[in-house]
Amino acid sequence: MNKRKSLPILLSFTLMLVLFLAACGGGDSTGESDTGSESGSGSDADTGSNAEQDEELFITIATGGTSGVYYPIGGAMSNLFERELGHFTSVQATGASVENINLITTGRAELAITMGDAVLQAYEGTGAFEGEEPVEELRGMASLYPNHVQIVTTAATGITEFEDLRGKRVGVGAPNSGVELNARMMFEAHGMTYDDVNVDYLSYSEAIDQIKNGLVDAAFVTSGLPNATIMDLQTSADVVIVPIEGAAMDYLAEHYPFFSADIIPANTYDNTEDIHTASIQNLLLVSGELSEDAVYVLTKTMFENIDRIQNSHNAAKEIDLEGVAEGMIVPFHPGAEKYLKEVGAID
């Protein structure tokens, strides 16, 4: 072969060989990185990768209806985590407790505000979660504040006691909401069922609107104090809050120990005296999929700036480290537990 013809061929071959070897070297490097990530090794590279993921969290906070207490509190958390940590956040209006638990367990929310009774039922596979596998992976971040069971009516209906609800049109909450779960228990405690009333499955904001229109006689409102929809109702009607006390409260304490005897203090609405009722703790759940470091930082940030959360609603003023474990019926997430032990909030 002519030497001048063979030289370009040789150079081309050499160049192709160099490129091939370089590609193989790059592939080996990528392969090692992927393998290290999948193996969950404790290498510096892997830790750096996890830290980067934690810094770029997208946090969906499941709350409740926009007229309730959960929503503004969730909004305050969202703003806090965005401003202090740079996380992308979203506040989701929902049907509250039961839906929120499902959002957490299906990976569609990272944080969720829920009532303690719904959490216990999900954790044990009872009540609204009857027939389902217990959701034992539920984890808590903090106990928040108590919800008060408020059975709302007006003086025009003549309803002053629970038994007066017989035959009346009653809004019991959206189907399978925390409010509706509570309503069922209240009827049970008073020896009654939904068969004794004309039930409307309405959120409490919808039910209050229907009270204004004369289409509903009473509504169950389980929320923090004061509730905005009740305050709105009292601008156009004489509001009456039906008490829960005596034998009914004793029944609840015996059969559903997540309830506590409580009061709606005088002047919360137009009430001149304290009203006896039942309350139940609200809990902040966190996804078990989040890392210990991520949840540690979220918990620390929340409590080091708790005044921003407390300013979101009057009910939120009760959120503090002193009551952080009250009514927490599922294990704390390891990240939350680490922080709360550091500050002496839990043992």
Written as six digits, the tokens of 284 are: 């902040």
pTM: 0.73
Domain contains 167: yes
Per-residue confidence of the chain (347 residues) as pLDDT tens digits? 444 444 444 444 444 444 344 444 433 322 222 222 233 333 333 333 343 344 579 999 999 988 888 999 999 999 999 999 999 999 999 988 889 999 999 999 999 999 999 999 999 998 889 899 999 999 999 999 999 999 999 999 999 999 999 999 999 998 878 889 899 999 999 999 999 999 999 988 999 999 999 999 999 999 889 999 999 999 999 999 999 999 999 999 999 888 999 999 999 999 999 999 999 999 999 999 999 999 999 999 999 999 999 999 999 999 999 999 998 999 999 999 999 999 999 99
H helices of the chain, in order, are 3-39, 44-55, 70-85, 97-105, 116-124, 178-189, 204-212, 228-233, 246-255, 292-304, 306-310, 334-342
**178-189 and 246-255 are packed helices; what angle lies between their axes, rounded to 10 degrees?**
120
Residues 215 and 275 in one domain: yes
Q: What is the pLDDT of residue 25?
A: 41
Domain count, the chain: 2
Are 295 and 311 part of one and the same domain?
Answer: yes
Q: State phi, psi for 88 to the nearest 5 degrees.
A: -85, 130
- Asked if residues 294 and 335 have their Cβ atoms less than 8 Å apart, the reply is yes
> What gap in Å lies between CA 276 and CA 247, rounded to an integer?
12
Q: How is residue 74 annotated by DSSP?
A: H
The sign of the CA dihedral 85, 91, 96, 102 is negative
What pLDDT does 55 receive?
57
Domain boundary, last residue among 280, 297, 314: 280
Cβ(220)–Cβ(149) below 8 Å: yes
Please report, for the domain that includes residue 200, its CATH number. Answer: 3.40.190.10
The residue among 77, 123, 14, 74 whose CA lies nearest residue 306 is: 77
Q: Looking at the structure, do residues 273 and 153 belong to the same domain, yes or no?
A: yes
Do 275 and 213 lie in one domain? The reply is: yes
| CB of 261 closer than 8 Å to CB of 176 | no
Looking at the structure, tell me whether residues 201 and 228 fall in a common domain: yes
Q: Which residues pair with 209 in a beta bridge?
A: none
Let me know whether 71 and 217 are in one domain. Answer: no
Specify the DSSP element, H or E, that contains 295.
helix 292-304
Residue 159 DSSP SS3: coil
Tell whether 16 is covered by a domain: no
Q: Answer whether 179's CB lies under 8 Å from 96's CB.
A: yes
At 139 the three-state DSSP class reads: strand
Looking at residue 174, its pLDDT comes to: 87
Domain with 327, as residue range(s), is: 57-145+281-342
Residue in the block written with tokens 């071959």 = 13
- DSSP state letter for 1: -
Is residue 52 in some structural domain? no
Last residue of a domain, one of 232, 264, 280: 280
**CA 302 to CA 31: how far, in whole Å?**
39
Same domain, 229 and 334: no
In this structure, the answer to whether residues 177 and 158 fall within a common structural domain is yes
